[in-house]
Amino acid sequence: MASPAAREWLGIQSLPGATQTKLHELLSKLKQENVSTVTILVMGKGGVGKSSTVNSILGERVASVSAFQSEGLRPMMFSRTRAGFTLNIVDTPGLVEGGYVNEQALDIIKRFLLNKTIDVLLYVDRLDSYRVDNLDRLVIKSITDSFGKEIWKRGLLVLTHAQVSPPDGLDYADFYARRSEALLKFIRLGARIKKQEFQDSAVPVVLAENSGRCKTNDSGEKVLPDGTAWIPNLVKEITDVILNGSSPITVDQKLIDGPNPNDQGKFFIPLILAFQYFFVAKWIKRAIKNDIKNESKPLWELRDMGLANREF
């Protein structure tokens, strides 16, 4: 699928001025590092606010969002340029269907991303759901299986619906800490990253609030309950991830197919065969010989062979 020609990023103008300034700062920082194109992959379960987040970042209503139904059945890529800098955001359909990971959707996403480079993965989930379950792990696992463990070095955990009133007895910071900790743990488990390794390159957590009722600060920026403007914060984290030294993920045919298990260990087959012959087969043969030797013969046969010594 040929990506549509990148359009001028007009939506940025609709963002509050303070945000625009910060974004420009970040973009120029990227440019200084010779990064002129950034591709952001947005993934997550259905209905967590992936498309809304995309809309918020771009400041345009590019992905249709409906309150009751997830619309996106196929991945969409939105490309915007601004001052020689290209921003690609790939919005994907929800990965869960019928209580299971939708392999088909994942497959479509993989095909869509063929020959593209992913700079940042935004793994989106809601802040205001309290529980993490096995399904989260499966989703994370299938993302890992598709793009490899390395993708999490370029990953960002985005928690939407940040403007939540935490359950009784918990203050906001506490709730946020617990929620993000639980999710990060599942990312670690699902991606099968070693604890140590995970601590070294932690997946950053960013909060987002896409609702129109989001509080704004004096300059009209959408702010989180703690007062930070989240869009610039998100973009800043994205920039940090891009610049953290890990290499972007290039999706090619090999990555999509995964390693061919049929080729694993082929080299060792002669060795395995030798082992089987000399140890397993010989061992069984020896056991058979032993059986023949130790076979308890009926008395009449023993007597006939003269082994009875007239004792029985």
Partner 1 sequence: MVFSAQHQALGPQLAGAGTCRPRRPAASSSSVISASLHESGLSSQQTLSRKPLHWIRKKTLALSSVSAVAAAAGGGFLFHLASGTPPPGNPGGGGGWGWGSGGGGDGGGFWSHIFSPLSAIAEEDQTAAGGGQEWDSHGLPANIVVQLNKLSGFKKYKISEIFFFDRRKCTTVSGTEDSFFEMVSLRQGGVYTKAQLLKELETLASCGMFEKVDLEGKTKPDGSLSLTVSFTESTWQSADSFRCINVGLLPQSKQVEMDSDMTDREKLQYFRSQEKDYKRRIERSRPCLLPIPVQREVLQMLRAQGKLSARLLQRIRDKVQKWYQDEGYACAQVVNFGNLNTREIVCEVVEGDITNLDIKFQDKLGNICEGNTQLGVIRRELPKQLRQGHVFNIEAGKQALRNINSLALFSNIEVNPRPDEKNEGGIIVEIKLKELEQRSSDVSTEWSIVPGHNGRPTLASIQPGGTVTFEHRNIKGLNRSIHGSVASSNILNPQDDLAFKLEYVHPYLDGLYNPKNRTFRASCFNSRKLSPVFTGGSVVEEVPPMWVDRVGFKANVTESFTQQSKLTYGLVLEEITTRDETNTICTHGTRPLPSGALSMDGPPTTLSGTGIDRMAFVQANITRDNTKFVNGAIVGERNVFQLDQGLGIGSKFPFFNRHQLSVTRFFQLSAVKEGAGKPPPPVLVVHGRYGGCVGDLPGYDAFTLGGPYSVRGYNMGELGACRNILELATELRFPVLNTHMYAFAEHGTDLGSSKDVKGNPTEFFRKVGHGSSYGVGVKLGLVRMEYAVDHNASTGAMFFRFGERF
* Residue list, annotated binding site for GTP: 47-52, 66-71, 161, 209-210
**Tokens 């969409």 identify what position?**
76
CA angle 70, 73, 79 (to 5 degrees): 100
> What x/- string results for residues 140 through 169 when contact with partner 1 is judged by CB under 8 A?
-----x------------------------
Residue stretches of the annotated binding site for Mg(2+):
51, 69
Is 269 a binding residue for partner 1 by CB under 8 A? The answer is yes
Residue 294 CA to chain centroid, in angstroms? 61
Is 68 a binding residue for partner 1 by CB under 8 A? The answer is no
Q: Rounded to an integer, what distance in angstroms lies between the CA atom of residue 295 and that of residue 288?
A: 10
Min dist CB 100 to partner 1, Å, is 6
Residue stretches of the annotated binding site:
47-52, 66-71, 161, 209-210
Min dist CB 88 to partner 1, Å, is 27
Q: Rounded to an integer, what distance in angstroms lies between the CA atom of residue 20 and that of residue 12?
A: 7
> What x/- string results for residues 249 through 268 when contact with partner 1 is judged by CB under 8 A?
-----------xxx-xxx-x
**Paired strand residues for 100:** 97
Residues between 95 and 134 with contacts to partner 1, criterion CB under 8 A: 97-98, 100, 103-104, 107
Q: Between 173 and 273, whose beta carbon lies closer to partner 1?
A: 273
Min dist CB 211 to partner 1, Å, is 30
Size of the site for partner 1 (CB under 8 A): 38
Query: How many beta carbons lie within 10 A of that of residue 61, not counting itself?
Result: 14
Q: Which two tokens stand for residue 21?
A: 């300034």
| Nearest Cα residue to 147 out of 38, 43, 35, 46 | 43
> 241-251: b or e for each residue (b if 16 or more CB lie within 10 Å)?
bbeeebebbeb
Query: How many beta carbons lie within 10 A of that of residue 59, not counting itself?
Result: 20
> What x/- string results for residues 276 through 295 when contact with partner 1 is judged by CB under 8 A?
x---xx--xx-xxx-xx--x
Q: Between 128 and 145, whose beta carbon lies closer to partner 1?
A: 145
**Tokens 């609030």 identify what position?**
209
Q: Between 130 and 275, whose beta carbon lies closer to partner 1?
A: 275
Q: Rounded to an integer, what distance in angstroms lies between the CA atom of residue 17 and that of residue 109?
A: 35
Q: Which residues make up the interface to partner 1 (CB under 8 A)?
A: 97-98, 100, 103-104, 107, 145, 260-262, 264-266, 268-269, 272-273, 276, 280-281, 284-285, 287-289, 291-292, 295, 298-301, 303-304, 308, 310-312
